[in-house]
Copies of this chain bind each other. A is one copy, B any other.
Amino acid sequence: VASRRPPATDGRHPSAIRRRPTIQDLAREAGVSPSTASRAISGTGYAAAAVRQRVLDAAERIGYVPDANARSLRKRTSRSVGVLVSDLRNSFYADLAAGIEQELRAAGLLTIVVNDDGRVEDEVEGARTFIAMRVFGAIVTPVSAEAVATLLSAGVQVVQADRQFGDRWCDAVLVDNEAGAEQATRHLLGLGHRRIALLIDETVWTTGVGRLRGYRAALAAAGVPGDDELVAYTSFHAEAAQETARLLLERRPDVTAVFAANNVLAEGAFREVRRRGLRIPEDLSLVAFDDVPWMSMVSPAVTTVAQPALELGRTCARLLVDRLSGPVRPEPQTVRLQPSLLVRASTGRPAEG
């Protein structure tokens, strides 16, 4: 396709190729002192317009690029932000990361991403690495309290995303899980459903706690007695969720609606419903939490509680930047974003009454 000059590269270690120009080289080339060159390049401090231009030209000429490591060392803070997420391949986290990166880049910051796959050790290891990097701050979808605590005790500003450990440890941007789940459940109740199952994977994080609570609150408000057998616990895998859904539907064929507490569980539930040949929503209504692409591609499209994942990420980044560059704002703040119920075709009136 393209075939321009094949740039110099000989397979040896980069640093062996040619010593990169330093600010000394730049100063010599421009005929000024290193500090003047520094001021001209960084834009801080005085520098005569003519001199500045001369330095900029010289930089262009010799290909000078300031060493970010040296700069960080000297200024005792870097332009990097550590981002610790649970699963980049899950579109919720991918969107979150994209939102963070977008906002950070706009603020001139770099995103260092670590995927912990939900493992506590990897999360803590990531936190340590961020500390070593002297990051500007960190944004974490916490798996445990440990990583966050480690970062905080090392003096790193942290923003917790989506989930929260501790109460007022640091800034946090969450989704109002309770309101979302309550809304979804209420929607089903409004359609006439009474035996609504909840498929959920955890109830220890703020996410699971909130969603379970919202589900229960809606039932209680409607005067529908809670039935513990309808709360099916599973693990964070589509296969496991499918199996759990299978057992649930076998055990309780009277269930008329299933509320899956996240996109992965919804996938399992959807597959199981398909496998059994049940019609949606005639035989069974399905509601999910978290809108991902497949939900609007299938037919009937899946009714779901959409989370503003991209905006969540953006907000985290903005909070971090504000806190670190703005005036002192000691109080950690918790921002709660509202999810919205997208009513699509997977929910309808139950067959009998």
User: Which residues of A pack against B, CB within 8 Å?
Assistant: 1-15, 17-18, 20, 63, 65-70, 72-73, 76-78, 80, 87-89, 91, 94-95, 97-98, 101-102, 105, 110-115, 122, 128-129, 131-134, 137, 145, 149, 152-157, 164-170, 204-206, 209, 267, 270-271, 274, 292-294, 297-299, 310, 323-324, 328-332
Contacts and interface: CB of A to CB of B under 8 A. Distances in A.
Contact of A9 (B4, B7, B170): B170
Contact of A66 (B69, B77, B132): B132
Contacts of A14: 77, 137, 155-157, 324
**How many chain copies does the complex carry?**
2
Nearest to A80: B112
A264 to B, nearest CB: 10
Contacts of A97: 88, 113
A246 to B, nearest CB: 17
25 contacts: A1-B165, A4-B166, A8-B155, A9-B332, A13-B324, A14-B155, A20-B155, A68-B132, A68-B134, A69-B78, A69-B133, A70-B73, A88-B101, A89-B91, A89-B95, A101-B113, A101-B114, A110-B112, A110-B133, A111-B113, A113-B113, A267-B297, A274-B299, A292-B293, A293-B294
A190 B317 CA distance: 52
Contacts of A274: 299
A154 B112 contact: no
Closest 4 CB pairs of A and B: A11-B330, A7-B152, A294-B294, A294-B297
A69 B204 contact: no
Contacts of A80: 112
Contact of A270 (B8, B73, B155, B297): B297
